[in-house]
């Protein structure tokens, strides 16, 4: 199987990694080429980052219950922007096909998560699954990028044999021949094992947000207002990969927020278990409405109080510990939660789905794909 992913295979595990790892563990005969986003040295150089080439084709790091050689990673290099290289996507898709052949995958199934996978499908004709996890057509993008994404999605919906979505909103908005709903989940066992308090947390009470810091989802202004509202009564702690501008980071830190950056996925439960309150300061718009936030399952698994804006994935939680509140009242609600009595040790009141459940659902879809 070839998986064209929106994210790299790293230590911050997301949906793709949980599902692919589970499928590999359950089937020792399965071999996967996991295609990561291309490294972009020119973009890195012009935005203050460190230019680097892609790591090309390589074996994945050792993982429990996965044999060496079952999982391969491929990170190509994007040397020029699309406006300067009209055939960039065509050549990129050809390199994916060559990487698959190099490891002996001559007639694989194709699992597309990134819309750019449409170019791989167009070149290869491999039996294909489109796993839609975000409605990128609802996100704020340049007109040229929006048009490109729209073309890629139309092609995928018309030519993929199977279409999977992660949220009811996506199921309603996408209208291909067949749509299978497979929501997200959590590693239940990992999140229910007691973990010690992380050493890098600020002293005193804190409210924590766990997730990628990206302005497609995160309301930076609301985070800034919340950090200021807490004052000396507590701290707002943001844990996760940072995709913010330097100006946005300065705004948050000046307001008193603590940005800890990315953490290994096995370390995340500790930050949640010791928080007085968990927060979801998300934007409320068409894009966030399409999501099935993994943090909804992570937060539920640790059983701490939650304050959230009225976003999909949290509005529906039938749990008295979840406060759903509009953005204007959000900072005060977080402050009240921190000022109240400590919630003490808590445990989930409702069953929480595990990634094992979702792996089995995806396996059934992939078996249908194989039969084609």
Query: Which of 249, 234, 237 lies closest to 201 in space, CA to CA?
Result: 237
- Quote the pLDDT of residue 131: 97
**Rounded to 5 degrees, what are φ and ψ at 243?**
-120, 40
Burial class (CB in 10 A: 0-12, 13-18, 19+), 317: middle
Give dist(CA 280, CA 271) in Å, integer.
Answer: 15
Structural domains in the chain, CATH included, are 2-185+355-371 (3.40.50.2000), 188-339 (3.40.50.2000)
- Quote the pLDDT of residue 159: 95
Give dist(CA 229, CA 332) in Å, integer.
Answer: 7
- Quote the pLDDT of residue 197: 94
Give dist(CA 188, CA 201) in Å, integer.
Answer: 23
Residue 4's DSSP bridge partners are 35, 112
pLDDT tens, the chain, 372 aa long:
999 999 999 999 999 999 999 999 999 999 999 999 999 998 888 877 889 999 999 999 999 999 999 999 999 999 988 888 889 999 999 999 999 999 999 999 999 999 999 999 999 999 999 999 999 899 989 999 999 999 999 999 999 999 999 999 999 888 766 799 999 999 999 999 999 999 999 888 999 999 999 999 999 999 999 999 999 889 999 999 999 999 999 999 999 999 999 999 999 999 999 999 999 999 999 999 999 999 999 999 999 999 999 999 998 875 778 999 998 999 999 999 998 766 665 666 668 999 999 999 999 999 999 987
* Three-class secondary structure assignment of the chain: CEEECCCCCCCCCCHHHHHHHHHHHHCCCCCEEEECCCECHHHHHHCCCCCCCCCEEEECCCECCECCCCEEEEECECCCCCCCCCCHHHHHHHHHHHHHHHCCCCCCCEEECCCCHHHHHHHHCCCEEEEECCCHHHCCCCHHHHHHHHHHHHHHHHHCCEEEECCHHHHHHCCCCCCEECCCCECHHHHHCCCCCCCCCCCCCEEEEECCECCCCECHHHHHHHHHHHHHHCEEEEECCECCCHHHHHHHHHHCCEEEECCCCCCHHHHHHCCCEEEECECCCHHHHCCCCHHHHHHHHHCCCEEECCCCCCCCCCCCCEEECCHHHHHHHHHHHHHCCCCCCCCCCCCCCEHHHHHHHHHHHHHHHHHC
- Quote the pLDDT of residue 174: 81
Give dist(CA 303, CA 297) in Å, integer.
Answer: 10
Query: Which of 278, 274, 310 lies closest to 295 in space, CA to CA?
Result: 278
Half-sphere exposure of 75 (CA within 13 A, CB side): 15
- Quote the pLDDT of residue 82: 86
- Quote the pLDDT of residue 344: 63
Q: What's the pTM?
A: 0.93
């Amino acid at each position: 199987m070839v998986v064209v992913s929106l994210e790299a295979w790293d230590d911050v595990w997301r949906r793709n990694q949980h599902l692919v790892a589970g499928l590999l563990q359950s089937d020792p005969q399965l071999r996967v080429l996991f295609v990561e986003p291309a490294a972009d040295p020119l973009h890195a150089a012009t935005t203050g980052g460190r230019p680097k080439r892609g790591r090309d084709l390589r074996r994945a790091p050792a993982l429990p219950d996965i044999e060496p050689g079952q999982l391969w990673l491929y990170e190509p290099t994007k040397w020029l922007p699309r406006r300067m290289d009209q055939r960039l996507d065509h050549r990129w898709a050809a390199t994916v096909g060559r990487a698959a052949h190099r490891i002996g995958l001559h007639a694989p199934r194709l699992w597309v998560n990134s819309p750019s996978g449409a170019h791989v499908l167009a070149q290869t004709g491999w039996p294909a699954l489109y796993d839609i996890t975000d409605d990128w057509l609802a996100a704020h993008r340049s007109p040229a990028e929006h048009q490109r994404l729209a073309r890629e999605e139309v092609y995928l919906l018309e030519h993929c044999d199977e279409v999977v979505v992660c949220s009811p909103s996506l199921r309603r908005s996408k209208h291909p021949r067949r749509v299978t709903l497979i929501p997200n989940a959590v590693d239940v066992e990992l999140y229910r094992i007691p973990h010690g308090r992380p050493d890098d947390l600020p002293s005193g009470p804190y409210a924590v947000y766990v997730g990628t810091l990206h302005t497609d989802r995160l309301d930076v202004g609301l985070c800034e207002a919340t950090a200021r509202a807490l004052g000396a009564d507590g701290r707002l702690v943001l844990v996760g990969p940072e995709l913010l501008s330097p100006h946005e980071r300065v705004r948050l830190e000046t307001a008193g927020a603590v940005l800890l950056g990315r953490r290994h996925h096995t370390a995340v439960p500790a930050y949640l278990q010791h928080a007085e309150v968990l927060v979801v300061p998300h934007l409320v718009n068409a894009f966030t409405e399409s999501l099935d936030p993994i943090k909804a399952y992570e937060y539920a698994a640790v059983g701490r109080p939650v304050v959230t804006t009225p976003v999909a994935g949290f509005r529906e939680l039938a749990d008295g510990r979840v406060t759903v509140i509009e953005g204007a009242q959000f900072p005060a609600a977080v402050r009240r939660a921190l000022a109240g009595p400590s919630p003490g040790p808590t445990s989930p009141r409702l069953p929480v789905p595990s990634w094992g459940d979702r792996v089995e659902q995806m396996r059934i879809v992939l078996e249908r794909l194989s039969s084609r």
